[in-house]
Amino acid sequence: RTVYVNGEYLPENEAKISIFDRGFLMADGIYEVTSVLDGKLIDFAGHAARLERSANELDLALPVDMDELIEIHRKLVELNGIEEGMVYLQVTRGAPADRDFAFPDPDEVPSSIVLFTQNKPGLAESPAAKTGIKVISIEDVRWGRRDIKTVQLLYPSMGKMMAKKAGVDDAWMVEEGKVTEGTSNNAYIVKNGTIITRHLGNEILAGITRNAVLRFAQEAQMKVEERSFTIDEAKDADEAFVTSASTFVMPVVEIDGAQIGEGTPGPVAKRLREIYLEESRKAAV
Ligand code: PMP
């Protein structure tokens, strides 16, 4: 695999980052994952805009501009022959001379940037999307700025392990009795034809897929409510699903052992998945 690191395209085993990089020592960094379908980037503008926002919120200097960023994405997709898959991008605060909690001066310590591709043939024809996935609920104990897409992913990883241990696919996180989001996706329920998903704020990541899916839902005259909901409300819903750049729209058929609807992907989730794939393929760059 050819990867990109700080201005160079290299074989992955030759790419190097300092052990003093603050991404490594302090999880001081941000990332984006953009999916690739038909060899093209899905929702690239949204991911680029969120990267800039995350960087601004953390006073983190981006080492490339948005034109360079899309060029690097495209070149990696081409060099690695990706038809379906993902491009992972990470920017960290770089490697000061020594470990220190205070941020280094960005004029003296440049940020590090790394990109690599993940080849996922059959990404759109996901078998999981045909059966739906099962989730458990867990307490959301993450920090209070989940709107920033940082590489601090230890708790979501622990959540995935809790799900695995419980014999299911993923976990929905709950705070003050309300669902925030999935470990790596936004969470939705459908009741009496209305799509319900938590409102934006510091408590969740503003998913790029969420934004697109809600727009498509409204364009298709579906009813959308952006508000928080409880796990009990979710268990009693007609349908549930999650969205993310890597899974698009993924039906959820079980929550904490309770079957949702018929226990199979519901019509709203199926339709949204179809619309999302079709529209975003058309708009891919
Ligand atoms: N919430 C969290 C916590 C995530 O990690 C992700 C995936 N990065 C999402 C939501 C979905 O965001 P997107 O649609 O931009 O992939």
How does pLDDT run across 190-211, given as a tens digit for each residue?
A: 999 999 999 999 999 999 999 9
The number of the ligand 1 atom at minimal distance from the alpha carbon of 46 is 15
**Phi and psi angles of residue 81, each rounded to the nearest 5 degrees, phi first:** 60, 45
Compute the Cα dihedral for 172, 84, 120, 124 and give only its sign: positive
Alpha helices in the chain (DSSP H): 22-26, 44-57, 66-79, 127-131, 154-165, 208-219, 231-235, 267-283
208 lines ligand 1 (CB under 6 A): yes
150-179 pLDDT, tens digit per residue, is 999 999 999 999 999 999 999 999 999 999
243 lines ligand 1 (CB under 6 A): yes
Residue ranges and CATH numbers for the domains of the chain are 2-119 (3.30.470.10), 127-283 (3.20.10.10)
- pLDDT for 225: 98
The residue nearest atom 1 of ligand 1, judged by CA position, is 185
- pLDDT for 134: 98
| Mean pLDDT score across all residues of the chain | 98
pTM confidence score: 0.97
Given the residues 149, 164, 191, 270, select the one marked as catalytic. 149
- pLDDT for 141: 98
Tokens of 6: 């700080």
ipTM of the complex: 0.99
Compute the Cα dihedral for 68, 74, 77, 78 and give only its sign: negative
Q: Average pLDDT for residues 9-24, to the nearest whole number?
A: 98
Query: Of the candidates 101, 130, 127, 115, which has an alpha carbon nearest to the alpha carbon of residue 26?
Result: 101
Dist. CA 97 → ligand 1 center (Å) = 33
Q: Average pLDDT for residues 55-84, to the nearest whole number?
A: 98
- pLDDT for 279: 97
Rounded percentage of the chain residues whose pLDDT exceeds 70: 100
- pLDDT for 237: 98
The residue nearest atom 7 of ligand 1, judged by CA position, is 184
Query: Quick one: how far is CA 130 from the chain centroid?
Result: 21
Dist. CA 20 → ligand 1 center (Å) = 28
- pLDDT for 86: 98
For 19, other C-beta atoms within 10 Å of its C-beta total 9
Q: Average pLDDT for residues 218-237, to the nearest whole number?
A: 98
207 lines ligand 1 (CB under 6 A): yes
Distance between CA atoms of residues 73 and 116, nearest Å: 9
- pLDDT for 231: 98
**Phi and psi angles of residue 124, each rounded to the nearest 5 degrees, phi first:** -75, -30
51 and 89 Cβ atoms separated by less than 8 Å:
yes
- pLDDT for 1: 96
149 is catalytic: yes
pLDDT band at 270 (very low <50, low <70, confident <90, very high): very high
Dihedral Cα 37, 41, 43, 46, nearest 10 deg: 160
101-147 pLDDT, tens digit per residue, is 999 999 999 999 999 999 999 999 999 999 999 999 999 999 999 99
54 lines ligand 1 (CB under 6 A): no
Q: Average pLDDT for residues 253-267, to the nearest whole number?
A: 98
